[in-house]
Amino acid sequence: MSAEEFAERAIEAQEAERARLAREIHDGIAQRLASVGFHLSAALGALPPSGGPSAHEARRQIEAARELAGLAFAETRAAIAGLRPPVLDDLGLSAALAGLAREASARQPSLDVTVTVSGELDAPLPDHLQTALYRIAQEAVANVLRHAAALSASLLLEFDRDRVRLIVIDDGRGFDPRLIPPDSYGLRGMTERAELLRGRLTLRSRPGDGTTLRTVLPLP
Ligand SMILES: Nc1ncnc2c1ncn2[C@@H]1O[C@H](COP(=O)(O)OP(=O)(O)OP(=O)(O)O)[C@@H](O)[C@H]1O
Ligand SMILES: [Mg+2]
């Protein structure tokens, strides 16, 4: 087999695998999410209209869950189509990060999350860089919520002449980066995203001393 043929077959295999994944997501996760939304709507309908404070709180929580199911459904569709996360189209990166921060504080009221954007760009940040930074921030915030038990977290987005930096800092319990479980995907996925764009992701953490995750991507 010639080198070209080999490369061609490798790409074909990759495309086939991608198509398989898209099908799985579409037929599996997306369908399930649609059913979750359906059941949540039914639950809302079944709540007594004037049921006092606990029914009011239940309604609020179910509405929030239904909205999240809807967002997750839209995200799976976008992922299948290879598109960027829909919030970026609606809001742009800075506002999308602010949305992430708001959602995180809503889920963990003891946690205060701030977003700071500094520097300016001559041209708009290319879509694929926005997507990568948003996805990295999303996983970093998910990790803070899940693992850090932090009181505060900051997202810093810094534009420079030739690079953009995203720094996520929390004051939580920290961890030893040498002891990351082999079956965890989050940090590996973030690192791969950064490297694909010729960037770098660095992690600084120590038990008892919070975590800082730093992503630097070169600008075109
Ligand atoms: N901000 C953080 N604070 C404390 N520990 C963290 C933080 N971020 C990551 N960790 C630790 O690093 C480990 C690896 O994180 P990673 O995101 O790769 O996997 P995960 O969150 O466990 O699972 P998933 O694959 O769903 O992301 C976590 O299990 C956790 O122990
Ligand atoms: Mg994770």
Exposure on the CB side of residue 191, measured as CA atoms within 13 A = 7
Which range marks the domain in which residue 22 is found? 3-80
Domain count, the chain: 2
Contact 69, 36 (CB under 8 A): yes
Residues 199-214, mean pLDDT to the nearest whole number:
97
Nearest CA to ligand 1 atom 23: 184
φ/ψ region of 125 (left if φ > 0, alpha if ψ in -120 to 50, else beta) reads beta
Q: Which residue has the tokens 């004037």?
A: 50
Of 20-29, 41-50, 108-117, 137-146, the range with the lowest mean pLDDT is 20-29
Indicate if 174 and 75 belong to the same structural domain.
no
pLDDT given at position 21:
78
Cα–Cα distance between 98 and 111 in angstroms, integer?
A: 14
Are 188 and 153 members of one domain?
A: yes
Residues 108 and 200 in one domain: yes
Q: Which residues contact 17 (CB under 8 A, 6 or more apart)?
A: none
Same domain assignment for residues 201 and 109: yes
Are residues 111 and 212 located together in one domain of the fold? yes
Whether residue 68 is found in the same domain as residue 131: no
Cα 185 to averaged position of ligand 2 atoms, centre (Å): 7
Question: Can you tell me the distance from the alpha carbon of 74 to that of 52, in angstroms, rounded to the nearest whole number?
Answer: 33
Q: Are residues 76 and 93 in the same domain?
A: no
Q: Is the pLDDT of residue 188 over 90?
A: no
| Tokens linked to 58 | 């239940």
Q: Which residues line ligand 1 (CB under 6 A)?
A: 143-144, 146-148, 170, 172-175, 180-181, 184-187, 211
> Is there a single domain that holds both residue 42 and residue 96?
no
Which domain-ending residue is among 80, 105, 127?
80
Query: Is residue 30 domain-shared with residue 136, that is, in the same domain?
Result: no
**67 contacts: CB under 8 Å, gap ≥ 6:** none
Could you tell me the pLDDT band of residue 44, with boundaries at 50, 70 and 90?
A: very high
In terms of domains, do 74 and 97 share one?
Answer: no
Asked if residue 159 and residue 50 are part of one domain, the reply reads: no
Mean pLDDT, residues 151-162:
96
Whether the pLDDT of residue 60 is over 90: the answer is yes
Evaluate whether 186 touches 143 at the Cβ level (below 8 Å).
yes
Whether residues 56 and 121 share a domain: the answer is: no
Q: Which residues contact 160 (CB under 8 A, 6 or more apart)?
A: 119, 219
Task: Report whether pLDDT(172) > 70.
Answer: yes
Q: Which of 55, 80, 105 is the last residue of a domain?
A: 80
> Which CATH number is 96's domain given?
3.30.565.10
Percentage with pLDDT > 70 across the chain: 97
Comparing CA positions, the residue from 83, 87, 85, 86 lying closest to residue 96 is: 87
Which residue has the least CA distance to atom 27 on ligand 1? 186
Question: How are strands ordered across the β-sheet holding 200-205?
Answer: 112-118, 152-159, 163-170, 211-218, 200-205
User: Per-residue confidence at 123, pLDDT binned at 50, 70, 90?
Assistant: confident
- Tokens 């919520």 map to which residue? 145
Give residue 104's pLDDT. 93
Of the candidates 80, 113, 131, which is a domain's last residue? 80
The 10s digit of each residue's pLDDT in 1-15 is 787 777 767 767 776
**Residue located nearest, by CA, to atom 22 of ligand 1:** 184
Residue type, 220: P
